[in-house]
Amino acid sequence: MSKAETYNHTQKGTWHLLLYALAAFFLTASWFLPLLALRITFFVTGLFMLLLASSFHHLTVADEDNQLAIRFGLLPLFCKRIFYDDIVEVDKGRTRFLDGWGIHWNPWSGSIWAIWGFDCVVIRLKRGMIRVGTDDPHGLAEFLKGRIADQKP
């Protein structure tokens, strides 16, 4: 694969709308609660929901020279980088409803980084596995297969 070939794709989700609604609820309620401790708790919770909402607008998967970067949102608080040298195998896959969305780990299928939908790319690493949710599973899988083929001596 030539250096000119790169990958940068952003998938949008809608979970941030629920988080914004929760933030509005907690911030509004904080004005009307009678106890100061509850007001502070609801206000801080509302601010936390705003922070989370801005972090889960979209999921960007991008080539960064010798690694793949996976980033959530406008505020990239949640980011993961995978060195191409660490990738053993790549396949297209699907998550299940019970796998959910967001960032989490389960003992059967490793880490999951997904924002919306069920299509994903399964990346088997030297140590572990990660499933990256995407609405471009073919493009991401082909790009990664090309990159790991370049890494082999």
**Residue whose pair of structure tokens reads 């980033």 in the numeric block:** 71
- Token pair of 124, please? 């088997």
Q: With a cut of 70, say whether residue 18 has pLDDT above it.
A: yes
pTM of the shown model: 0.82
Q: With a cut of 60, say whether residue 4 has pLDDT above it.
A: no
CATH number of 8-12+60-151: 2.30.29
Residue range 51-65: average pLDDT? Answer: 90
What pLDDT, on a 0 to 100 scale, did the predictor assign at position 98?
Answer: 66
Residue range 13-30: average pLDDT? Answer: 93
What pLDDT, on a 0 to 100 scale, did the predictor assign at position 2?
Answer: 46
Q: How distant is the alpha carbon of residue 142 from its chain centre?
A: 20
Distance CA 87, CA 84 (A): 5
What pLDDT, on a 0 to 100 scale, did the predictor assign at position 153?
Answer: 63
Give one word for 110, left, alpha or beta, with left for phi > 0 and alpha for psi -120 to 50: left
Q: With a cut of 80, say whether residue 1 has pLDDT above it.
A: no
HSE toward the beta carbon, residue 17, CA cutoff 13 A: 4
DSSP 8-state code for residue 78: S
Distance CA 121, CA 131 (A): 6
Q: With a cut of 70, say whether residue 28 has pLDDT above it.
A: yes
